[in-house]
Each structure stands twice: as C-alpha cells, then as structure tokens.
Amino acid sequence: MLVVMRDHASAEDIQHVVDLLQEAGAEAHLSRGEVKTIIGVIGDREVIYTLDFEGLPGVERVVRVLKPFKLVSRDFQREDTVITVGGSSIGGGAFAVIAGPCSIESEEQMMATAHAVKAAGATMLRGGAYKPRSSPYAFQGMGVEGLKLLRAAGDAVGLPVVTEVLDVRDAETVAGYADILQVGARNMQNFMMLDELGTMDRPVLLKRGLSATIEELLSAAEYVLKGGNRDVILCERGIRTFETYTRNTLDLGAVSALKWLTHLPVIADPSHASGRRDLVAPMSRASVAAGADGLMIEVHPEPERARCDGPQSLTPADFSALMADLGPRIALEDKWLGAGE
C-alpha cells in the first residue's frame, strides 16, 4: 500500500501516519520529492488494508498496490534513482559503461585493462575475484588477492570498481575493496545474501537469473530496498532459452519494460548474453536503443589467453572502437528521451 501525502504536507502529518503504521506492526518507507511525500507500507496485507488513512490530515489518497514489489516500483517513486560512486553516475540520464575482464588474473592484466578502458571512456572498472563456475575444476578466481589488484587498478586510473559477492560470508570483505557489489545471476534469489546487502552502505548491481521472470527480478531487488539500501542497479544479462547459437538470449523487451516498471537504473550485459565477441557491439547498440542506462562489457588485453570467458571478451582496440561508435548514439538517445518527457 502507498499513502500519498498532499503537496507540502507538514512533518507532523507525515509522522502521524508513520506512527499509526508502526503501531499496526507495519513498516513505513518514505520517498520525499520536492513537494510530495509518498509512504510505502510493508507488512501483513490483511492488517494494512483494514487501516483507514483517507481522512487523516495531510493525506491525499491511498493506493493499494497488488504487485509483490512496492519500493522498487514507479508507483512508490516516479523520479529515476541516480546512483553516484567515485564521481561516476548511473540513472536519470547518466549513462555508465562498466568494463573489464571476467576474472582478475594478474597485476599486469588488471593494470593494462584499467588504463585501456579508462582511455576509451569507460566510467567503471569490473573484474571477478570470486568466480561461480559450472565446473568445480575451472578457475575459481584469486579471492582477496584479486580484490587488492582490482582496487589498486581502479585507484590508479580513477575509476570506481565493481565485483561480485559470491558468498554472504564474504560480503564485508568484498565491501572493503569494491565500490559496487555485484550479485550474479545464480545468486539472484539468494535471499540471505540480499537481506545482508540491504543493510550495507554499498550500491548493489543485481543480475537477472538465467530463468527468472521480470517480476522475480524486481522482487529480488525489493529484498535489498526493504533492508534500507536504496541503491540498486538491475542488469539484464540474457536468459536461458532453446537457442544454442548464442550463450543466452538478450531480452531487450525486459530492458524497456523495467524502465517503465521501476525507478531503478537498468543496464545490459551483451557479453554474457551473446557469449560471442562479434555480437557484443550490435547488442550494445540495441541496448542503448531499448533505453538501457548503461552497459557491462568484458574486455581483456589478450582474450585468447583469458582464464574465463575469452570468446566473449573484446580486445582494448575493439572496445575503443565500440565506445567511439556508442558516443553519438547515447547522446541522441538521451536527447530523444528528454524530448518525450
């Protein structure tokens, strides 16, 4: 349920509603705009819906939301959420490009990649220190040593860093090095992990599960917001279908739908979606056209020697060419979206 307060409602009127909700055992989450405050109500639906707020001072109307996700919906917050880390922003017209290798392999590899993607225009650096692999015999990542290399590379070129949290027990450790904590596709419904990240002071990049619906992705994000962390980035990374030519199927319809359903930033990962280096550029352009707020692209100085996902990784030269091509498209898309508003 959402309690929409009148324009410029007093602090006393807002607090009165919050007090009544808390007395009923519900949680109140406030979204404050310049003139209007919306109170998102979380709790037992049967109890909440018996509460009568319609005639209270300062209350404009009450909206009963039937969706399982409330805090992430545009019903709760109309304005786009903008997330800023280390001088780089995403959402609300700010386009982000997160680039780097699938896995951190060495200091030389990370430094070379960081300098290359920075020079090409990337706004954030990525790299995996803990790798969830289908085979238990595949390279599992460098762990804490990899985190140190990623942090050093990011600091060297002035880019915030993004890396995956694989286990809830490692969350605090990873947060000590990373600016953004990534939840991978296989962990999207690890609710213990989502609950923990909801209490942390770090933005969360939440990837869509291999077979997850849009509603399931938004419900997973709701876990994080419910814990108090409002900085969540959603990532469409391709879903599993019957098609085998590509690694996954990039669901661009989901990108557009998410932009309508939620105020959270939405990015696309054409690298994991396609699994093919030659398809990353066209899928990146398509993602921009679909309204994505950013891209996550895998870049490796020597893809043929990569210990993880080499076939889908761009060379620095290919990444630079893609960024040069995307620049005018991103500017045009932002201008078009602004005109539509």
Element (H, E) at 339: helix 316-340
CA distance 166 to 168: 7
Given this model, what pLDDT does residue 136 score?
75
The pLDDT of residue 341: 42
Q: Where are the alpha helices (DSSP H) in 36-181?
A: 45-48, 107-120, 144-157, 171-175
Strands (E) in the chain, as ranges, are: 2-5, 27-32, 37-42, 59-63, 83-85, 88-90, 96-100, 124-126, 161-164, 180-183, 204-207, 232-236, 266-268, 294-298
pLDDT at 8 over 70: yes
pLDDT beyond 90 at 310:
yes
Q: Structural domain boundaries of the chain? A: 2-63, 83-340
Centre a 10 Å sphere on the Cβ of residue 64 and count the other Cβ atoms it contains.
Answer: 10
Q: Which of 30-44, 269-283, 317-331 has the highest mean pLDDT?
A: 269-283
Of the candidates 184, 99, 102, 114, the one whose C-alpha atom is nearest the C-alpha of residue 149 is 114
Which region, left, alpha or beta, applies to residue 87 given φ > 0 means left and ψ of -120 to 50 means alpha? left
pLDDT averaged over the chain?
Answer: 92
What does the pLDDT average to over 12-40?
A: 90
For residue 157 the two structure tokens come to: 């070129």
Residues 43-51, mean pLDDT to the nearest whole number: 76
Look at residues 132, 124, 100, 103 and name the one whose alpha carbon lies nearest to residue 113: 100
What is the token pair recorded at 158? Answer: 């002035």
Residues 6+ apart with CB under 8 A from 329: 285, 288, 289
Q: Rounded mean pLDDT of 60-66? A: 82
Q: What is the DSSP letter of 103?
A: B
Instruction: Specify the residue for token string 């398809």.
Output: 279
Mean pLDDT confidence for 33-42? 86
- Distance between CA atoms of residues 123 and 97, nearest Å: 5
Residue pair 184/198 in contact by the 8 Å Cβ criterion: no
pLDDT given at position 340? 45
* Cα dihedral 126/277/213/197 (nearest 10): -10
pLDDT of amino acid 137:
66
Count of C-beta atoms within a 10 Å radius of residue 180: 24
Q: How confident is the model at residue 332 (pLDDT cuts 50, 70, 90)?
A: low
**pLDDT grade for 334, boundaries at 50, 70 and 90:** low
79 alpha-carbon distance from chain centroid: 16
Q: What is the tens place of the pLDDT at every residue in 86-141? A: 989 999 999 999 999 999 999 999 999 999 999 999 999 999 998 776 677 677 77
| Cβ contact 35:80 at 8 Å | no
* pLDDT tens digit sequence for 184-233: 999 999 999 999 999 999 999 999 999 999 999 999 999 999 999 999 99
Residue 149 predicted with pLDDT over 60: yes
What tokens were used for 28? 């109140």
Q: Is the pLDDT of residue 69 over 90?
A: no
Q: CB–CB of 303/277 below 8 Å?
A: yes
- Fold that domain 83-340 belongs to in CATH: TIM Barrel (3.20.20)
Residue range 2-63 in CATH 3.40.50.2300: no
Query: 280, 322 in Cβ contact below 8 A?
Result: yes
- Closest listed residue to residue 107, CA positions, set 57, 145, 65, 161: 145
- Contact assessment for residue 90 and residue 267, using Cβ atoms and an 8 Å cutoff: yes
Instruction: List the structure tokens of 20.
Output: 């009544």
- Tell me the mean pLDDT in the region 230-254: 97
What share of the chain in percent tops pLDDT 70?
Answer: 95
